Structure 1
C-alpha cells in the first residue's frame, strides 16, 4: 500500500494508531487513516462522507464488524468486512467472516473463511445510467 503508486488508491495518511499491547473494548469510528497494531474488540467504521483508510498490521487482531471505504488487512479479523471502495488482503491476513467489496486484491497466503461478495459501486451505476441515456 505505502510503496506502490496507485492512481485510484485513497490517501495513504495515517492519523491515528492503536499500538502494540493496546486493547480497545468498544466500537470505534474514525476519519482519515487508522492503523491498528494492537487489539480491537468491537466494530470499526469510518465517516461515510470522507474516504478513509484502515490498516490492520500483521500482529493486530480485530473482533467485530469493519465498515470502511479502503482497508489493508495483514492481521486477524474475526467478523464481517465491508469495503465500499477497495480491500487489500496481504499474505498474513486471516479473515473469519463474510467480505463485501467493490475492488479486491488478495495476495498469496491470505485466508478468508467466509463469503466474498462483490458490490457494484455507485460510481459504476452512475456511469451505466449516463451511458444508457
Structure 2
C-alpha cells in the first residue's frame, strides 16, 4: 500500500544517482550521465544522458534534456526527451516538448507544443516510398 506510490514517483530507474532535496535551490547548469531526482528548485539548464524524476515538490525553470523523464512537479521551460516522458496527475508543464513517447495522466497540465520524434521518422519513410 505505502510502497506502491513511491515506486510510481521514482519512475523509470530503481537507482537514483543524484537527489536534489526539497530544500535545495540550484541556479546554473546541471550535467549528468546518471539518473537525477529533483524535489527542490532548479533554474538554468538540466542535461542528463540518463533518466530524470521530478517529484511533486520539484520546481524547475530550465531547458531540460534527458533520456526518460517522470514529472510530478512543475516545469517552466522546453523539454527534450529522447525516449519516454510521463506526466503524473500532479504535473504542470509550461513549455514545448520533444519526445519519443508521451504519457499524460488525468489531472496533469500541459501548455505548449508537443513534437513526437517517432512520428517524424514514420512520415519521412512513407514520403520516400
TM-score, length basis structure 1 = 0.79
The equivalent residue for 2:3 is none
Aligned pairs (5 A) from 1:1-133: 2-3=7-8, 11-47=13-49, 52-120=50-118
RMSD over equivalenced CA pairs, Å: 2.2
Structure 2 unaligned spans of 5+: 1-5
Q: Which runs of 4+ in 1 moved over 4 A?
A: none
SS in 2 for 1:27: strand
TM-score, length basis structure 2 = 0.82
The structure with more helix, counted as a fraction of residues: 2
Distance 1:119 1:33 in 2: 22
Number of residue-to-residue matches in the alignment: 116
Structure 1 unaligned spans of 5+: 4-8
